[in-house]
Structure 1
Amino acid sequence: MEKDNPATKRSRDRDDKHHRSHHRDSHRRSDHKSSSSRRDERERSFEREGSRDRKHRESSYEEVEAKNKRKEREESEERGEKRAKVGEGNREEKRERRRFGDKAKEEEEIEFSNAANSGDPVQNVNINKQKKDAFQILKPELEVDPESNPHFDARMGIDKNKLLRPKRMTFQFVEEGKWSKDAEIIKLKSQFGEAKAKELKAKQAQLAKAKADINPNLIEVSERIITKEKLKDPIPEIEWWDLAILVSGSYDDITDGVLTEDKLKKEKITIYVEHPRPIEPPAEPAPPPPQPMKLTKKEQKKLRTQRRLAREKDKQEMIRQGLIEPPKPKVKLSNLMKVLGSEATQDPTKLEMEIRSAAAEREQAHVDRNIARKLTPAERREKKERKLFDDPNTAETIVSVYRINDLSHPKTRFKVDVNAQENRLTGCTVISEGISVVVVEGGSKSIKRYGKLMLRRISWAEAVKEEEAGDEDEDKPPNKCVLVWQGSVAKSSFSKFSVHECITEAAAKKVFADAGVAHYWDLAVNFSENEF
């Protein structure tokens, strides 16, 4: 075997190394090629899947479109059936109107049918709407669909069409007087036109409303029938109760008011007491109503509290229902942070102005309420009059007669006159030598005040003229005023209060005699304090 030289060996090694590197590069290229082919294959598979999805989506779109078309076709068929039913109803209505001679509506239907035969779809829709409004073709609708109810069971055999079917008219009686009223309205229309008929209809509606407002449970109350009292029978010769016990049947057996036993029927006299038959009074007054129970102070306070709580509860209930607005929170500077919280720190200046304006509004509302409750000058005057004077229509007239020894002083005379007029009293003052009489008439309040003036307030002993004080005799009694008589009368005898100065007693008595009360003067003259 030939031995290789070193150069040949090195060239062979170089060739082997080159071959190995080339093989390695080719292997790498093949790996790269395989990975790119796999990527291309994956992209092609994605494209195939996308095309299948598109085809599936297109097929689903076609199915939905076909389903919508089928639904529209069913709805159009259903509308056609409804139109056929409506047309049948319209034809039936026309036959009824033709049978009863309603020509005007028939001509209107002919116009509708002619317009419907024309090719304008908008006009046909309007005509159908007019027909529906004219004939009021209503289809009952359920408030709640049974199938939408989660507890609905279709196996129960409930037919929805039967539920939608309108109920038949039940038998109803005609109200009394209906046909006569209709005939009267037609007669008025033919005679006087529509105005008179409308007036009659309005009057009938008012009568019906008035009857409807009447409570049928109330018992009609009429005036009490007062039976006329029978005339009394003439006095008989002998009374019926004496006739049964007298033997002779007359009062001739009684002499000098004495009746012997032999002239009586003793068998008629028994231990029993015979009562006459009771007779009802012709008009017995009704019993007085029950008096209200008097409550103590504690009970009244408790009742006021209960009423206030009930009012507050009703107010809260109305606020809860939304009938009235809830009151605004009463915000003050003292409770600002407690009510508003964090809102108070956002704009404190503006908030303070709002709070002060709200407080001013509340104060003004309080003042306005007080002004609204305040009485007007006329109402205050009327209230004061009610307090000072009695009602002249209901109060009784009271008369007081006073006797005064001396009424010559102008100061006391002025007081007597002016106070009587201010208290709205009528009567007179008669001044004569040695005696003066004052008569006043009026209500109890005025008479009471005037009595205090005459008997307590005026100092009669000091009311003497200064020129007469020195010449006064020691035996002359002191000047004073006494109440002679006080009582009530049916009506007043005087129209106003007047003062009369008389020289003689006859002239003084004539003043009272002219008013029909001359006995007042006699009472005052003959009055003596020792009698009482």
Structure 2
Amino acid sequence: MASSSGSGSLKRPHQLEDETSQKRPRSNNGSPAPSSAPPKVDIQKAIAEARAKAEAVRARLNAQREGIAPKPPAGSQTPQSSSTSPALSRLEQMKARVAAATGKINASVSQVAQQAPSYAPPVNDDSLLKARGGLDVGLHPALLGDIGQDSRATKGKQVMQPKFATTMANFRSESSTPSTQGKTPLDLSGPSIEETRSNPYFDPTFGSKSVSARPRHTRQLIFNQKGKYIQQAAALRRQAQLEDMKKRIAARARQAGIDEDLDVEKSYLVAAPPAIEWWDEGLVNATDYSAIEDPSNLKVDTPDSVITIYIQHPVLLEPPQDKNIPAPKPMYLTPKEQAKIRRQRRMADLKEQQAKIRLGLEPVPAPKVKKSNLMRVLGEDAVKDPTAVEARVNREIAERAQKHQEANEARKLTKEQRHEKLASKQELDASKGVCVSVYRIDSLANGRHRFKIGKNAEQNALTGICIMHPKINIVIVEGGARSINAYKKLMLNRIDWTENSGINAVREGNREALTSWLAAEDEKGELKDLSLNTCTLVWEGEEKNRAFRKWVGARVCETDGAAKDQLARAKMENFWALAKSIKPGAAWPCI
């Protein structure tokens, strides 16, 4: 690169200019040359100027309060005529205005006098102006600020201060603003405490914190007493030990077979006889039998007595054992006798039909042509056109077969009629007497077993309940003799109780889904072993009436007391004790 001082250079020669010139000389590298070193600042002189400005501001404020125009103090100088640096004069002027606005002028002046900022001129680093890269071109001065910050962070050198006004320099006091002179400033302090108390619509939650005027109270230190948390921990441990003890006692009682119901003895107590029986209430004018010693209390011969001269004949009831008497069986005939009777009946029907034909009541039936009698019936027609005759015979045979099928379909019952017929038979079966049977099952973990128990009870029109317990399960059904016999075959023969398919079809929200002992899988996720599962007939017999109105379904009972409560509604709680007393596989004698 040619030298810039040569005659062939395109740059103009360097001209020396005064310091007051506005045009800055350019350097040989194409960027502005750094300015000359700034003049030294007299610190004492700057402090004196700041004090004079503060006095002037104080005088102006006093004059505004008293209504007198301020007089500039002698020897004061304006910032424009001052020979100090403009950056320092602006800083002092800003501090003076802030101090005057807050009413702390004296303290601010003394602080300025004591802690005067020491101005240090920026140090020009020639290395920053040197060219970087291959083009030998220096950096622009606007980019020197960032480099100055990095160099200060690394090398501890000072950085050039910005020469523009900051935000605090734009701050003006209310007294110095011309628009605010002579006007009352806006009060933004909010309502007082008296106004907030008297105003029923005041909401202290809105607005600034100063509006609510809540006094601040100093919170006292509250120390925990020694051993407080130790006592709480000990109480929690005792509670946990008590719960654990209850669980162990319940488990041992379940293993030992102890009845968990505390009111078992009450079910065996005989009730005391009443003061007066119900059949004597209409004959005695009292609440007990002690009044019969007085004849006036007896209502035997009185007009309002239930005893009259009229005789009441009771309604005759059929003996209940007559319902179980089987119907008389018809006498069976031998095959020869059956054939003879059929032949005689058919002969009588044929003679009757022939008599109607002679009288003209019925038309002559067409001959029944078959392939075996084709030549004998049709004769010459069969010889003339045997193909047409054979087709005619086949058509008649098909028509007769279709007519037979239609007759069979007409006699067949519909689905609704079959249900009605089955229901009527089941009702007739139950009218002869109500039979009851009780079964004990060791485990009902297989969902298919539970489904078959309920579905077959509904199909056989049986009423009853299925109690599911962690130890044993009992099924009580009642209905007709035929239905009970079919259900008995299902429970004792048809169902394989040792099968575990692992299917549990339980509806959501059912209590069966919440019990672990009804699950087909154990805690490890393996199918439970039901090889020892059995179903035993505990008891069967007859009852006068049904104890259940419908098939209640399966009921989950965690304890013996809950199971007895379910059976107590039908007065069959004795079957629970009976089922627990017998051993698995041992049948109870039936009556």
For normalisation by structure 1, the TM-score amounts to: 0.39
For normalisation by structure 2, the TM-score amounts to: 0.35
Question: Counting helix residues as a fraction of each chain, which structure ranks higher?
Answer: 1
